[in-house]
Amino acid sequence: MLTITMPAILFPAISLILLAYTVKLIHLGGLVRTMKSQYMQSHNEALLSQLANLRKRIYLIRDMQALGIGSFIFSVFCMLLLFVGYLEIAKYSFGVSLVLLLIALFLSFREIYISAAALKIEIEGLEKVNEEGR
């Protein structure tokens, strides 16, 4: 049985997760810009594959944010419906909200999984430099 306080339990969780996503996006955006100017100067191939990785992740984060916001909208909508007294529709709205949050978290998992790849490329470049130095 849904009460008016139930969807509100999701609120702080969703907003914190959105905050985390936003910080990530801002950080990656800045990184893309600096890497691009580095590439313009040095034309290092390793930077290109890192940029491709970052770009993919930025798209993932955008989708995560969109899904998170969608989940938030549906849970506020659910609260509104409960408040007005439409119990049946409110249940569906809450269900949609939870499903959207699940998809967002799943994408987040994938993003974290590929996030180590960019660093790996960076380190491989370092190893090459080391070998050439010898």
Partner 1 sequence: MELTLTTPALLFPAISLLLLAYTNRFLALATLIRSLKGQYVANHNPNLLGQIDNLRTRILQIRNMQACGILSFFMCVLTMWLLYNGQQLPAKYAFGASLLLLMISLFISLREIQISVKALEIELSDLEESILENQLTRK
- Using CB under 8 A as the criterion, which residues of the chain lie in contact with partner 1 when the complex forms? 4-5, 8, 11-12, 14-16, 18-19, 22-23, 25-26, 29, 32-33, 36, 39-40, 43, 48, 51, 55, 58-59, 62, 65-66, 69-70, 72-73, 76-77, 79-80, 82-85
Contact 26, 57 (CB under 8 A): no
Name the minimum Å distance from CB 76 to partner 1.
5
Smaller CB separation from partner 1, 25 or 117: 25
- The smaller minimum CB distance to partner 1, of residues 16 and 116, is found at 16
The dihedral formed by the CA atoms of 78, 80, 84 and 89, expressed in degrees to the nearest 10: -20
Q: How far apart are the first and last CA of the chain?
A: 70
Minimum CB separation of residue 117 from partner 1 in Å reads: 18
Cβ contacts of residue 67 below 8 Å, gap of 6+? Answer: 100, 101, 103, 104, 107
Give the CB-side neighbour count of residue 96, counting CA atoms within 13 A: 16
Whose Cβ is closer to partner 1: residue 48's or residue 96's?
48
